[in-house]
Chain A
């Protein structure tokens, strides 16, 4: 139910993002989803990739600070209001979202929401009880 996400510390320097994507490309690692959170001074790049451990090793070798975090991937049917339904539910249950980002899968049929909650177990249980589909990690890595 949980998906491993890679987070990379970004000094606020242009070219860092390109450097990271090319390191991953050289190592035949595919990026499934990517989001950058940043401040005036630094940023954090969050990545879902198909080969988590290889990506971590490759980036660390090049001197990046890398961490791994567990996140949840929620599948949202591609219809009007699909996204709103998930967010409404999250709010109603009172789940505390640390951060989230979204991407659309290859076929373009469904959107996938990546969530990090402070209480992951409760989040998984309550979302499932409310009928939402939470993807297995293998499904996400191979999207």
Chain B
């Protein structure tokens, strides 16, 4: 299969050329941000770095990190480089604690975003002739509108169906001939279940490719969704602080991983403990510097996502660096029997099971030399059945899915609602009773 590019020259540029573009853009960014955004200037002064100290790409390491806390402290618009006159759109991500994070876009930012998203779609094999079924949520969340503008930019036909109402989604898929599905992987599995109930054979539909993201998913889930929906499933990555979806995209004939559109988004991998930059291929926290965004650039923004970077040219011909699937979050990692476990992964497993509310608690204990993990899950009314076998099937399903996605065997304990302590509205997710 021949590769489809959106921007062939950039996507296949040898590294030297790419790095020279990156450096020029980085220098101009640091200059601009130093002049215009007080929080960045203060941090640079405190770190003893001036814009003119950025002579090579490696000098990026001299700059302080930016964290979600920095964004929250300057809520809502304190990190913008310009007045609201030039801002044409804002998005916000919901904060699990306190304030949300607000991001802003100029007209040029929106255009860059649409281009990156069009590049992502092309990377996944989409062309003008495609019918893009966009089931990402439209709203403050960047997923829906981000994907929408990209598909339009590409020249495909967008169905802005947004999330929910699976039956209607399937009818639309059938009647309109959707070829590309964009959604979270767990929603794709819901759609597969709904098709099953409606007695619709996915091979009778026109779906060809699924572009799935916005939550972690495993290779097993990929296999499941590919089999159930009769399509090729590829991974997309993005976050609103950087731009939204369209930061990185897995290609169709991949050597593994997602191509980061690094002419706009410069990645680093750091050790989450020490902040030191790690070598290519090593696993650590992903950090981004946006090179071209006007309204809301970020410098060394800590995503908290754990992954690694691979610089070898891909079999698809792209020279753009590839990032692995995100396997977890740096702030809540647990190590159980040598496996890195992230509570958020457990939450995603639970959210993928209909009727299960993501109210859970993970209890880790050490029995002898063996670590054990128990996941307590609240039995909601919608989940409850008066038959033992129904509840046993549920615990088996959760155990299996946790094993599939996290690679760890756990014990599942069903508990009464509200039996799991909630402290100030936010549940304590992990109780680690190991005395190490």
- Interface residues of A, Cβ cutoff 8 Å to B: 5, 7, 9, 11, 37-39, 41-42, 44, 46, 60, 63-67, 69, 98-99, 116
1/0 contact string of B401-436 vs chain A (CB within 8 Å): 000000000000111111100000000000000000
Cβ of B385 under 8 Å from chain A: yes
- Contact call B416/A65, Cβ cutoff below 8 A: yes
- Contact call A65/B379, Cβ cutoff below 8 A: yes
Choice from A7, A39, A63, A99 contacting B417 with Cβ under 8 Å: A63
Closest to A6 in B: B386
Give the distance to chain A from B341, nearest Cβ to Cβ, in Å: 21
| Additional pairs, 4, CB under 8 Å, beyond known A46-B386, A63-B417, A116-B387 | A5-B386, A9-B391, A37-B388, A67-B385
Q: How far is the CA of A9 from the CA of B413 in the complex (A)?
A: 12
Closest to B411 in A: A41
Q: A residues within 8 A CB of B388?
A: 37-39, 44
**Which 8 A-B pairs have CB atoms at the shortest separation, nearest pair first?**
A7-B386, A67-B384, A69-B386, A65-B384, A65-B379, A9-B379, A42-B414, A63-B418
Q: How far is the CA of A67 from the CA of B415 in the complex (A)?
A: 15
Q: How far is the CA of A99 from the CA of B392 in the complex (A)?
A: 15
- Residues of B325-350 at the interface with A, using a CB-CB cut-off of 8 Å, are none
Cβ of B93 under 8 Å from chain A: no
Given A64-B416, A65-B379, A65-B416, A7:B391 Cβ within 8 A? no
Closest to B395 in A: A41
Q: How far is the CA of A116 from the CA of B388 in the complex (A)?
A: 13
Given A9-B379, A39-B392, A44-B391, A65:B386 Cβ within 8 A? no
- Contact call B381/A66, Cβ cutoff below 8 A: yes
Choice from B392, B395, B417 contacting A65 with Cβ under 8 Å: B417
Closest to B413 in A: A41
- Contact call A11/B391, Cβ cutoff below 8 A: no
Cβ of B380 under 8 Å from chain A: yes
The size of the chain B interface, using a CB distance under 8 A, is 18
Q: Which of A5, A37, A60, A67 has the most CB of B within 10 A?
A: A67
Q: A residues within 8 A CB of B416?
A: 9, 11, 63-65
Given A9-B414, A39-B392, A65:B380 Cβ within 8 A? yes
Q: A residues within 8 A CB of B385?
A: 67
9 A-B interface contacts by CB (under 8 A): A7-B384, A11-B415, A37-B388, A41-B395, A42-B414, A44-B391, A60-B381, A63-B418, A67-B381
- Contact call A41/B414, Cβ cutoff below 8 A: yes
- Contact call B417/A42, Cβ cutoff below 8 A: no
Q: How far is the CA of A44 from the CA of B402 in the complex (A)?
A: 25
Q: A residues within 8 A CB of B392?
A: 39
Q: How far is the CA of A80 from the CA of B83 in the complex (A)?
A: 91
Give the distance to chain B from A6, nearest Cβ to Cβ, in Å: 9
- Residues of B354-405 at the interface with A, using a CB-CB cut-off of 8 Å, are 379-381, 384-388, 391-392, 395
Q: B residues within 8 A CB of A9?
A: 379, 384, 391, 414, 416
Give the distance to chain B from A43, nearest Cβ to Cβ, in Å: 8
Q: A residues within 8 A CB of B387?
A: 44, 98-99, 116
Give the distance to chain B from A118, nearest Cβ to Cβ, in Å: 10
Q: B residues within 8 A CB of A99?
A: 387
Give the distance to chain A from B218, nearest Cβ to Cβ, in Å: 26
Q: How far is the CA of A44 from the CA of B380 in the complex (A)?
A: 14
Give the distance to chain B from A8, nearest Cβ to Cβ, in Å: 9
Q: How far is the CA of A9 from the CA of B386 in the complex (A)?
A: 8
Q: A residues within 8 A CB of B414?
A: 9, 11, 41-42
Q: How far is the CA of A7 from the CA of B390 in the complex (A)?
A: 13
Q: A residues within 8 A CB of B391?
A: 9, 42, 44
Q: How far is the CA of A68 from the CA of B379 in the complex (A)?
A: 15
Q: How far is the CA of A9 from the CA of B418 in the complex (A)?
A: 13
Q: How far is the CA of A46 from the CA of B415 in the complex (A)?
A: 17
Q: B residues within 8 A CB of A7?
A: 384, 386
Q: How far is the CA of A37 from the CA of B388 in the complex (A)?
A: 7
Q: Which of A5, A46, A65, A99 has the most CB of B within 10 A?
A: A65
Closest to A64 in B: B416
Q: B residues within 8 A CB of A37?
A: 388
Q: A residues within 8 A CB of B418?
A: 63
Give the distance to chain A from B407, nearest Cβ to Cβ, in Å: 23
Closest to A46 in B: B386
Closest to B386 in A: A7
1/0 contact string of B75-113 vs chain A (CB within 8 Å): 000000000000000000000000000000000000000
